[in-house]
A and B are shown apart, each in its own frame.
Chain A
Amino acid sequence: MSANPFKDKASPHSASAPPSAADYWADSLFRKLAMTCAGLIIALLAYILLEIGSQAMPAISEYGIGFVGGTTWDGSRDEFGVLPEIWGTLYSSILALIIGGIMGVTIAIFLTQEFLSQKVATVFRLIVELLAAIPSVVYGLWGIYVLIPMLRPVAGWLHTHFDFIPLFSTDLSGPGLAPAALVLAIMILPTVAAISVDALKRIPYKVKEAAYGMGTTRWEAILKVMLPTASSGILAALVLGFGRALGETMALAMLIGNSNQINLSLFAPANTLASLLASSFPEAGDLEIRALMYAAIVLLLLTFVVNVMGLAIQQYTMRKFEGKK
């Protein structure tokens, strides 16, 4: 680094000078540091998997795959199974996906397809963003003191008149699946709406022009051209929203009733993997902690699969749009 072949060739008045040794040293150090940090996040994921895995090991070897099929969670008898929690997690998330998904996509259409003037659309977008900014516990609190009292008469009426339908076979006595799923739907709505808005906005203007040029009405253009064109992006939005619903904890722990049962009724209390963790962890004995770690792995696998699917769809969408203009 000391030899400078340019020095003699340059004009004697030139201010050019090679970077100092310290510059080189700082450069290589800094680059290594940045690279280490980039690797760190991968290491973090590996460490998380390894740590939770090894903590769960005793429970895994004790209960094996039967853990997933077991229906009892009893710390005093050391009997642990998470089937009701898996059921509750999937049931509440699917309900939330149906409600929040439909609303989220509708709102995305509302925001992008010129139903609103620019200003009103901005305000509305702010509302959706605010919806996303409200912490989960606050939704939980709202659910307990606003939503549940509101739902009870409705649930009571449905139960009295339609109790032959399994969905309404119990009454809502307080916390239950319906309020939990509704709050969950509100919580995933902003995610679904935001990603769907991106997907709809990525459609080139000329496609819209082509649709209108064919003589479509606004809704024909939306339903037959815009939505199919944005379909993979919207699918990704739904999958990511679903992933979020699976992992949501606090609002569910506050609203779902934490009861280990498998029931089709919308008004029965239930439980989810995340709220099982939240409610049982602080007071768990040693083996129960292991079992909870095992439950955490089940939750991790569930969300991991869903999220990777969502990301893959999203990446595919972007490539489709960027590759073929």
Chain B
Amino acid sequence: MSATAEVMPTTDAAYYEADSPVVIDCDVQKVFYGDFLAVRDSRVPIEKGKITGFIGPSGCGKSTVLRSLNRMNDLIPSFHLQGAIKYHGLDIYGKNVDPVMVRRYIGMVFQQPNPFSMSIFDNVAFGLRLNRFKGDVEEKVQKALEAAALWKEVKDKLKNSGLSLSGGQQQRLCIARAVATEPDVLLMDEPCSALDPIATRQVEELMLELKKHYTVALVTHNMQQAMRVADTTAFFGVDISKGGRTGYLVEMGETRQIFEQPKEELTQQYVAGEFS
């Protein structure tokens, strides 16, 4: 972490020009928790049909930014955001916007598998029932479980509790739950951090499959994972120059460019594994 301290933050990170339609134009100027400035100056456009990876050392605010994208941070009372996050051009922090609606279109998969204490089927059907889906729930559930590559393992025990599954299966169940309603965007907050390597590999394959139909934003602590799955990568750094720990976007670009020809020295040091 010492490396971050010495490098003065670049205030004007090269703004990444997206060449495909931007689904979420995330322009975070400042994020506060109470008086604590957690993130500043991060403009991260999330493009349609791509996986956008968020990488960076711990405490760099990558999860905070991700959680701002569907207003999950609203659960923390002291949270306060300056800037705009535009979803199809509409600022989701706008005055009349209902955070509940935002979360129905921008789904989320969390760090820890968090299935509900109900059956596997009910877990996946949860969102459908929530949205008062009028069609064939069973078919949708099966499709979602297939999409999450879990169908074969659970098709004979759909009535079992979601909690009876293994960690990797639980996480795929949570993915199935998130995709069952076919949201527009899927946010994944270190979805593999609680999983073993085999389960991680399965989830990664799944992400590559998902991006055919969904826009995905992925926070990962694992650089190899970003290299393997992300199309675009945003690298966040930590600025401790003013006494606090403030995260900010250092640079963003095609994944290959970020890892092979980074524009910033800090990025270079990070991808070379000089600090984490």
Contacts and interface: CB of A to CB of B under 8 A. Distances in A.
> Do A and B make up one complex?
yes
Interface in B151-201: 161, 163-164, 174, 177-178, 181
A207 B103 contact: no
A19 interface: no
Interface stretch (B114-122, B221-229, B257-265): B114-122
A39 interface: no
B75 A215 contact: no
Interface string B119-137: 0000000110111000000
Contacts of A216: 100, 103, 130
A229 interface: yes
Interface string B40-74: 00000000000000000000000000000010100
B23 interface: no
B202 interface: no
Contact of B130 (A204, A207, A220, A320): A220
A210 B164 contact: no
A13 B156 CA distance: 72
Given A213-B72, A214-B177, A224-B126, A207 B100 contact: no
A228 B129 CA distance: 15
B81 to A, nearest CB: 17
A217 B100 contact: yes
A212 B116 contact: no
Interface in A186-220: 204, 206-217, 220
A207 B114 contact: yes
Interface string A229-250: 1000000000000000000000
Given A214-B126, A228-B118, A209 B177 contact: no
B140 interface: no
Interface string B61-94: 0000000001010010000000000000000000
Contacts, number: 66
Contacts of B115: 210
Contacts of B116: 207, 210-211, 225, 228-229
Contact of B114 (A210, A215, A320): A210
B130 A210 contact: no
A212 B75 contact: yes
Given A216-B130, A228-B117, A209 B75 contact: yes
Of listed A208, A214, A225, A228, residue having the most chain B CB within 10 A: A214
Contacts of A324: 161, 163-164
A320 B104 CA distance: 30
B101 interface: yes
B110 A213 contact: yes
Contact of A206 (B114, B127, B131): B114
A211 to B, nearest CB: 8
Nearest to B162: A324
Given A228-B117, A324-B164, A215 B112 contact: no
Given A207-B116, A228-B117, A214 B110 contact: no
Contacts of B72: 209, 212-213
Given A209-B75, A324-B163, A214 B117 contact: no
A220 B107 CA distance: 16
Contact of B107 (A204, A211, A213, A217): A213
B152 to A, nearest CB: 23
A215 B100 contact: yes
Contacts of B164: 324
A209 B110 contact: yes
B210 interface: no
A214 B114 contact: no
Contacts of A213: 70, 72, 103, 107-108, 110, 178
A215 B92 CA distance: 14
Contacts of B131: 215
Nearest to B75: A212
Contact of B174 (A210, A220, A225): A210
Of listed B112, B129, B181, residue having the most chain A CB within 10 A: B112
A214 B174 contact: no
A211 B114 CA distance: 9
Nearest to A208: B75
A316 to B, nearest CB: 13
B102 interface: yes
A229 B110 contact: no
Contact of A210 (B105, B110, B163): B110
Of listed B72, B129, B130, residue having the most chain A CB within 10 A: B130
Interface of B: 70, 72, 75, 100-105, 107-108, 110, 112, 114-118, 126-127, 129-131, 161, 163-164, 174, 177-178, 181
Given A210-B114, A214-B177, 4 more contacts: A210-B115, A215-B101, A215-B130, A320-B117
20 contacts: A204-B114, A206-B110, A207-B116, A208-B75, A210-B114, A210-B115, A210-B116, A211-B116, A212-B103, A213-B72, A214-B103, A214-B104, A214-B127, A214-B177, A215-B103, A224-B129, A224-B130, A225-B116, A228-B117, A324-B164
